[in-house]
Every structure is written in C-alpha cells, then in structure tokens.
Chains A and B, each alone.
Chain A
Amino acid sequence: DADVTQTPRNRITKTGKRIMLECSQTKGHDRMYWYRQDPGLGLRLIYYSFDVKDINKGEISDGYSVSRQAQAKFSLSLESAIPNQTALYFCATSMIRGSYNEQFFGPGTRLTVL
C-alpha cells in the first residue's frame, strides 16, 4: 500500500549536534509537511512544501531547515539541536484536487536532545 515513512523512528542526540530526519512517500502527493507534537500543544507546523521548488515556513520554523530533494522526499534538519527541541516529529502529505485535501501522516520520529 502507498504510505508515508520516516527515518529514524527514534533518535537520541546531544546539544549542539546537527541531525536530519527523513520522510519518504509513495502516495504520489505533491504536498509535504513537517509537524512537531508536544503534550498539550497539539501539532504545530514547522515547514511545508507544495512542490519540489516550493518551501515555506510554518508556525515554528526557527532552529529548523528543510530540503525537498524530490517529489517523494522531504527532510528536516536541526542545525544545532537544543533540549527544547525534544519532541515527536511527524511528516505528512496531501493532495488537493477539488474538495479532497486529507493529510496523511507518517509514523513519527521521537527525538530526544540531551
């Protein structure tokens, strides 16, 4: 089945390290998103991309960067990780055709910054 996948699923890193979270999808969707989930704060948008040449900042982009390497791949980087970036990170994809615009989420990456 077409799916959204994320690697790694879990990552422990130290303050100041650069890390990359990767997202791949086989759904053929044009639009991809990175969200961060914290308890009591819901899902907050970090960056989004509507096609390969399009990158947009979301609500909480400071400290993060992204790369859309291909239609199917969207990576999130933390240039210098800090402890308050400890969270659950989700990638999502969608297509908007007519009135259909459901977002499909990946399984998540649990990141711990020590």
Chain B
Amino acid sequence: GENVEQHPSTLSVQEGDSAVIKCTYSDSASNYFPWYKQELGKRPQLIIDIRSNVGEKKDQRIAVTLNKTAKHFSLHITETQPEDSAVYFCAAMEYGNKLVFGAGTILRVKS
C-alpha cells in the first residue's frame, strides 16, 4: 500500500518568512494530494489540493508543487502570519480512494 513520509516534524519561522513542508509518497498510481491544516483543538480542514496532471497550484499565500517523477510534493506558505501556526498534514489518495496521511508538521510562526 501507499506510504507517505512528511518532513520536517516541527518548523519554526519568523512572521513574514516563508515555510516549506515536504512529503514523499511510494505508490506511483496515487493521483490526488491534499493538504490539511489542524488548529489546536480543532478538526483538520482542507487548505489546498493538487492532482497528478498538474505541477503547481496556488491560492493566495499558499502553493503546492508536485514532482511525479520523484514522487514528492511540497506545501509553500509565503509571508507567514501567527494564524498560520497549526499542524499541517499531507496525504496521498491510493487505489480504492483512500487517503494515506503523513505524520504531520507542527508549524510555529513567531511574531
């Protein structure tokens, strides 16, 4: 089955700096890659996703890139703000339409 590895496990940045979280996946048949944000005490919520026929997608300050050959994808957050502090999860959708999640990255934005 699919295996998703996520790095780093924790990330601290200064407000205004950029943050990058990277994930690798093992199953070349996976074709959908969402990113979820989980604020403290809250439920995970989708913030951006990308499909395997697209190399990059942007939504205001966040962007996701996908390298199918290398089987990795990354989340980029620019101009970070304190409200970006949260746990971020990447995921890959494997055969059977099941999501396999990475272990998560705790992002702390210091003001």
Contacts and interface: CB of A to CB of B under 8 A. Distances in A.
A62 to B, nearest CB: 16
B61 interface: no
A50 to B, nearest CB: 8
A58 B98 contact: yes
21 contacts: A31-B97, A42-B6, A42-B89, A42-B102, A42-B103, A43-B44, A43-B101, A44-B101, A45-B99, A50-B97, A59-B1, A90-B44, A96-B97, A101-B32, A101-B93, A103-B46, A103-B99, A105-B43, A105-B44, A106-B43, A108-B43
B104 A42 contact: yes
Secondary structure of the B side of the interface? strand
A40 B103 contact: yes
Interface string A21-62: 000000000010000000011111100101000001011000
A99 interface: yes
Contact of A105 (B45, B98, B104): B45
A85 to B, nearest CB: 19
Interface residues of B, number: 23
Contacts, number: 44
A30 B94 CA distance: 19
Interface of B: 1, 6, 9, 32, 34, 42-46, 49, 51, 89, 93, 96-104
B98 A42 contact: no
A7 to B, nearest CB: 15
Contacts of B49: 102
A57 B15 CA distance: 43
A98 to B, nearest CB: 11
Chain A to chain B: the 8 pairs with minimum beta-carbon distance, closest first: A105-B43, A42-B101, A42-B103, A43-B101, A102-B46, A105-B44, A42-B104, A107-B43
Given A42-B101, A42-B103, A42-B104, A102 B44 contact: no
A48 B49 CA distance: 21
Given A42-B103, A42-B104, A99 B51 contact: yes
Interface string A79-90: 000000000001
